[in-house]
A and B are shown apart, each in its own frame.
Chain A
Amino acid sequence: MLLQIKNLHAGINGKEILRGVNLEVNQGEVHAIMGPNGTGKSTLASVIAGREVFDVTAGEILYQGKNLQKLSIEDRAREGIFLGFQYPVEIPGVSITNFMRTAVNEVRKYKGLDPLPGGDFLRLMEEKKKLVEITSNLTNRSVNEGFSGGEKKKNEIFQMAMLEPMLAILDETDSGLDIDALRIVANGVNKLRRPDNAFVVITHYQRLLDYIVPDFVHVLFEGKIVKSGGKELALELEEKGYDWIKKEQE
């Protein structure tokens, strides 16, 4: 099993947001996590990534059998966890090339590999850019600076392709995308699917799941996964809205 979350409770500044999440993700699977705003979807993603502002108050997260809480943010990333940000951060002055080369080589170093030679790295970048149809020259552009919403999301998938994670969590990657960008982003993800990796796709709408077809759909509501099913659950949610879940919970 790749990821096993057991009775996870977490919050921020003493306010509990996750109230006992249970989730299991195996290699080769795509999971979708849906749910209304403010139910803890992004918090769950951040907690898995190790964001320090959140406190885990109970439960545990096992990744490849290891307790994640002992690992720093960067070590989780180096172990193969990738978080696609809902709002990718702009970092003026740091070029994408430099940023990615530093990231790729730090991951390699962690794995005991030599740094990728400059030429190989540039070839890898060119190859991965094609995957998300990035045609512009990224070399001299700062990370996400002045990017449109669509460019930022494409850049997230590009980074994911460069880092080849085992577990990719995509936090509302579809938000703010027009239909063309959505298709490009989804195609990128689909091309990166392998029997040994897994995706957790957090989304508000069913639309993305037309392109990235999940094996499992979970509904997160008030800090808990209250319903799980196959891809048809997403369609049901689309049709009935979340009120139906809310009523069921009451």
Chain B
Amino acid sequence: MQSETKEILTAQRFIDLFEQNRSFLEMNDTVKLAKIREDAMASFVRLGFPDTGMETWRLTNLEESLGRGYDYNLRPLPEVDAQKVFRCNIPHLDTAVIGQLNGWYVSKDVPLMELGNGIIMGSLEEARKKYPLIVEKYFGTMADDADEGLTALNTSFAQDGVFIYVPDNVKSPKPVQLINVIHHDANLFLQSRNLIVVGNNAKLSLVHCDDSYNHQASFSNIVTEVHVGDHGVLDHYKLQNLNNNSTLISSVFFRLGAAATLDSHYISLNGGLLRNNIRVLFNGLHGTASIFGLYLMDRKQHVDNHVYIDHAFPDCTSNETFKGILDEYAHAIFNGHVLVRRDATKTDARQSNKNILLTDTARVNSKPFLEIYNDDVKCSHGSTTGQLDQESMFYMRQRGIGEETARMLLMFAFADEIVTKIAIPQLRQRIEDMVKKRLQGELQICEQCVLHCSTPEHPVEFQIDLTKI
């Protein structure tokens, strides 16, 4: 039932593992869910792990990551002191915290929190048992198992993860903070599956963090499905601060109802290999999706943002703004694909990707791409990659600002366009501090999670005060 062997990740290993553990995996499945699982496994058998022969994986090679040996567990490991790991929070930010350890929901004594206003949040595994009809209605309906081997693998092995359900007409009173910490004393492969449902005319703020606890190698294959109902509002933040030995494949599938509003922010501060698959489906008229990304990479770090927006309905607006600063040998990929279907008149779609390369050895591959089958649309895309602006550098230095400080100010200003989009003030302040620290090379994979936390943090000291007064 449990596999603790540290093996390289071959597709066959997972196919065998699935066969051996089928009844265990399907224990709590409804007929429909078992079918989804079986179909996903069939897709995985066909697709296997992605390789660079596939167009969408051309520039991200998983071979090295997959080739490391990993443990993989079909049951949660005996928990380290979860209380210790999850005493994290952002100062003065009043959130409901949901902790995940290695992809498993922690605090099993309260597997599902059912709030008075009808909001349910907690373990997906528990939700499958307790609310099979709700889960069944949404699970597997957004994720694309047919095209992505890793998504299919996640679906076929889906066990635990986070489930959040905000009923129609309910506005979540405070942000929900979902923290997934990786903590293991050997290389670990982990999968978790999250299902977020924001009902019609409902509202949710969700802060989703992926952090490492130590420097052990890991491979995370995380799939999150998000349904936002008609007139629903979701403000979503994904913060990634993992160690340099970690591989994170995060696939988030959004489905937006009529007049739904999505703001989704991807802040990648550290990680060995990060891949964000972001898919948005407009499933009704007048939807709005704004996707913001900021990545600050150095050493041999690799970040790959793949954004796919499907304008399947008329009158929807999408906006992608991704910015990155690459140092040393870092490599960034931006691939934005907007599909405007034949009937999607009055589509307004914008894509922008801007990069600063600090060295000759840092690399960017940027491909904003529009696929348009309707004439009555407003679409734009643009991509720039360059060095820090020399005119600006001269101007600042001429005012007496030292070269290093001027560089910092310019880099921070560049990043700030994304940071200022963060709607939660305390979170914005925190991210601002982290970005400053990151740019100064001072950000640590902290002892606790990235949002630091239980240890009182030293105040961030800068030679220059970047705070606005």
Contacts and interface: CB of A to CB of B under 8 A. Distances in A.
Nearest to A122: B469
A107 B405 CA distance: 13
B190 to A, nearest CB: 37
Interface string A92-119: 1111011111111111001000000010
A121 B467 CA distance: 14
B414 A93 contact: yes
Which of B400, B409, B465, B467 gathers the greatest number of chain A CB atoms within 10 Å? B400
B400 A107 contact: yes
Nearest to A107: B400
A51 interface: yes
B468 A102 contact: no
A163 interface: yes
A72 interface: yes
Contact of A91 (B395, B398, B466, B469): B395
Contacts of B412: 93
A47 to B, nearest CB: 12
A159 B396 CA distance: 11
Interface stretch (A4-12, A62-70, A73-81): A73-81
Nearest to B413: A93
B55 interface: no
B399 A103 contact: yes
B410 A106 contact: no
Contacts of B466: 98
Contacts of A83: 398
A106 B416 contact: no
Contacts of B465: 98, 101-102
Nearest to B394: A51
Nearest to B420: A93
B55 to A, nearest CB: 35
A67 to B, nearest CB: 19
A53 B195 CA distance: 56
Contacts of B413: 91-94, 142
B371 interface: no
A101 B469 contact: yes
A140 interface: yes
B461 to A, nearest CB: 13
Contacts of A110: 400
B68 to A, nearest CB: 39
Contact of B469 (A78, A104, A139): A139
Contacts of A142: 413
A89 interface: yes
Given A91-B396, A94-B409, A97-B469, A74 B414 contact: no
Contacts of A77: 397-400
Nearest to A76: B398
A101 to B, nearest CB: 7
A85 interface: yes
A106 B405 contact: yes
A95 B466 CA distance: 9
Given A51-B394, A89-B392, A97 B468 contact: yes
Contacts of B399: 77, 99-100, 103, 159, 163
A36 interface: no
Given A77-B399, A99-B399, A106-B401, A91 B468 contact: no
A49 interface: yes
B403 A74 contact: yes
B411 to A, nearest CB: 10
Interface of B: 389, 391-392, 394-403, 405-406, 409-410, 412-414, 416-417, 464-469
12 contacts: A77-B397, A77-B400, A89-B394, A91-B395, A93-B412, A93-B413, A93-B416, A98-B467, A100-B399, A102-B401, A106-B400, A122-B469
3 A-B pairs with the lowest CB-CB distances in the bound complex, closest first: A93-B413, A77-B400, A103-B399
